[in-house]
Structures are given as structure tokens and as C-alpha cells.
Amino acid sequence: MHKNKIIILLFLLMLTGCVLKPKYIIQNYKPPQKISILPFENYTTDFDAPIVVRNIFAQMIKNKNYTIKSLDETDNILKENGITQAGQLNSISYSELGKILDVDAVIYGKVLEFNYITLGIYYKRAVRANFKLINTHSGELLWEDEKVSYTQKIVTEKIAEEFKKQLIEKTVDKILKSPLIEETQDVVRWALSTLPDR
């Protein structure tokens, strides 16, 4: 029994070590002065996913001491320049974005998974997102990370009660416009833990 606990602990430590490494970070990273967080792309079927993830990212990056242009100001400037959707960002160069937003770097985000499944005895909540920080002067990728957070369980007892509880939880999440907040916070926190402070 004691041996099993040690093996589990070592496995968890290995996973933790993996979690703290970014997907990419440029050598001799120098934090940019001013950053805009661009509208996030949505690769899921949930319309709210990019809004939820972007808002949480914007709140949590403040702890890293970067100067962040407000989301409203960023969105208004983009709209004035004919960009109303995240997919349109590919049609404009990094240097143009830097000029119109008056920033040194931009953050792109992709929400790759954002779902909660309730199928009788099976229950899963999952969020996966990718984030990139790009220098608008040079076009260089400065930092990138991608994280996933999920909760899943299989219920074998009291199936009817559990199914009812899951449906209520899903409905409440939608009504409050706060789906998958906990999982999203985990994904953003883990990703930002690999971005150096300013």
C-alpha cells in the first residue's frame, strides 16, 4: 500500500513538471510594454466559449504586471477598422495591428474544447485552449501555451438522482452565462504560469 502511494506521488510530480512548461518561449524573452488581447477564435459548438475564456484570461493576466489595453477599447478599435470577428484577424498583419491598437504585442487565443456532456451514468466537463503572444514590431512568436482541464466521472449508484443533478447544473450554468468557469480558470491559470512576469 505504501509503495503504491509513492508511485502515485511520483506520477503526479511528473505531471506537475509537464504542466509548468510552455509550449514555446523565445530565448531571452523580454516582456512587451503594452498588450492587446484579441478576440478569441472558437473551434467549439458553444457560442459563449471564446467570450468566457477571453474575459477570464484578461482578468488573470493582470497578476503578471503587464499593461493590458481593455477588451472594450481593443474591440472598438478593431470594429472601426472593419474587424468584427476573430476569423478576420488573419487578414491583417501584426505590424498593422500594432499600429492601429498602439501596442507592442498581441495575444491570440483559440478555444479548442468547451463542453459538458451528460449521458446518464457518464459526466464530463472539459476546456482546452491555446494562447499565443506575438511581437507586433517583429512578428516574432514570443510565447505560446495550450492547456486542458477536464472533470469526468461514471456513476453507478443512484443514476436517476445523479442525472437530474447534472441536468440542473448544466441548465444553471447556461442561465447564469457562466459555463465551465472552474475549468476555464484552471486552463488560464496553468497557461499563464508559464508566461514570465513583467
pTM of the predicted model over 0.75: yes
Residue 4 is assigned to a structural domain of this protein: no
HSE-CB of 195 using CA atoms within 13 angstroms: 29
pLDDT digits (tens, 9 = 90+) for 26-44: 999 999 999 999 999 999 9
Give the pLDDT of residue 179: 72
Region of 163 (left: φ > 0; alpha: ψ -120 to 50; beta: rest) is: alpha
pLDDT digits (tens, 9 = 90+) for 130-179: 999 999 999 999 999 999 998 887 765 555 555 555 555 555 455 445 57
Cα(90)–Cα(30) distance, integer angstroms: 25
User: 30 lies in which domain range?
Assistant: 24-192
Residue 138 is assigned to a structural domain of this protein: yes
| Structural element, H or E, at residue 95 | helix 94-101
Q: Classify 62 as helix, strand or coil.
A: helix
Position 110, amino acid: K
Q: How confident is the model at residue 9 (pLDDT cuts 50, 70, 90)?
A: very low
CATH number of the domain residue 67 falls in: 3.40.50.10610
* Domains contained in the chain, number: 1
**H-state helical runs in 81-158:** 94-101
